[in-house]
Structure 1
């Protein structure tokens, strides 16, 4: 994989204009060069100018890397706007990987409503993922929200068994909370259809969900990893504003 071949660099730069303009001549040559050199190791979805002059954004689907105009040097890392203290790579990745939130199969998810439930988010979570448990604890502090949790057991066979037991519990959301927050293992003897687990895994793959937890906001943006309550609240405000502006 490319992580083993290149030094991971954390780049901190000021924003420069022209991040969305396409220079067809340079970009088409660069894309051809990278496809030839990377081969089947990576799938290149697009190549565009980045916010840094002379640096190009390479969308690999599950992440963004950067290249110079020749393709000889690759940067594996993130671009930060030091003036606004924002992660430009993270924002860009979220933007180009937007989904249609309303099209998610919510009947295949656990549902929790707090307060008026006006703000909505979906979480793909594995029951054996420590970062998912960390996120679950943070979500306890958020009010006026509807949370759809898609059981996404991708870490181990035990994750699948726990997910099935939780789904077949008389109170699924309670069983989920008992396990994720209090480490009380689901012990239900109920037998039910658990094909929802396979559907969720297929759904996650189709949405390019590479890790857990992955959060989707109502405006379609994704937020990978365990998030702090402060960042969650901030992004929920942005998502609500974006939906109102549509």
Structure 2
């Protein structure tokens, strides 16, 4: 429903400085306006943007902006030029980090020690070429202190061949070995159907805006699309630590 709603929205940029709380009456007015355009949509949150009459609304993990009277709506990046901050991306980072933090690591396929220096979550597809290249360097990531936590994202969707392979990996006796075999293009042996988180993780990725693999989600909720080599990744992570000690 959220993606259909976003199809009505214009793309643009607003210049702003800070958000403020919204009273119950204002929220209800915005909610009522939203229902005119997309009946049944339930916003996750409604906040006032600093531009009079404009509100930030989150629906299914997507951020957009709407006027209180429901006449104007837009999807785009809200920028604070004074502080050189992309407020929309900052909001999305918080939501991504919260979503990932809410997951149980036991439902991921993890390569690396528990007490690693960095943790990187990767939405991955067994058949993705760049995902396979990334996995070939898994030992290098681990040696540099990076723990890799894989989340399934079969790009072709639930029920596809890639989806079935992700399920086979999850249901294997040794998931680490199975992941390495599958990403090398080898069949996973001795697997049976089992309860698995593949569909749930695929749906989560979609709700977080993942549309390609690999997509890396860092601990602060920021994303890195595509293949990032081990040393480049650790450099990025170290810069983030230095910028926010």
Question: Which of 6, 10, 16 is 1:7 aligned to?
Answer: 10
Residue 191 of structure 2 is matched in structure 1 by: 192
Q: What is the CA-CA distance between 1:164 and the residue it aligns to?
A: 3.9
3-state SS in 2 of match to 1:27:
helix
Determine the C-alpha separation between the residues in 1 that align with 2:216 and 2:129.
15
Return 127-136 or 56-65, whichever deviates more: 127-136
1:56–1:69 CA contact under 8 A, matched in 2: yes
Return 22-31 or 86-95, whichever deviates more: 22-31
Q: Establish whether residue 163 from structure 1 lines up as the match of residue 166 from structure 2.
A: yes
2:146–2:234 CA contact under 8 A, matched in 1: no
Residue 98 of structure 2 is matched in structure 1 by: 99
Q: What is the CA-CA distance between 1:67 and the residue it aligns to?
A: 1.0
Q: What is the CA-CA distance between 1:105 and the residue it aligns to?
A: 3.2
3-state SS in 2 of match to 1:153:
coil
Q: What is the CA-CA distance between 1:95 and the residue it aligns to?
A: 1.5
Q: 1:94 to 1:140 in 2, by over 3 A?
A: farther
The number of residue pairs the alignment matches comes to: 233
Q: What is the CA-CA distance between 1:186 and the residue it aligns to?
A: 2.1
TM-score (norm 1): 0.70
Q: Establish whether residue 76 from structure 1 lines up as the match of residue 75 from structure 2.
A: yes
TM-score (norm 2): 0.70
1:211–1:224 CA contact under 8 A, matched in 2: no
Residue 20 of structure 1 is matched in structure 2 by: 20
Determine the C-alpha separation between the residues in 1 that align with 2:53 and 2:204.
33
Q: 1:100 to 1:63 in 2, by over 3 A?
A: closer
Q: 1:193 to 1:178 in 2, by over 3 A?
A: closer
Residue 32 of structure 2 is matched in structure 1 by: 32
Q: Which runs of 5+ in 2 are unaligned?
A: none
Q: 1:57 to 1:137 in 2, by over 3 A?
A: farther
Root mean square deviation, CA, Å = 4.1
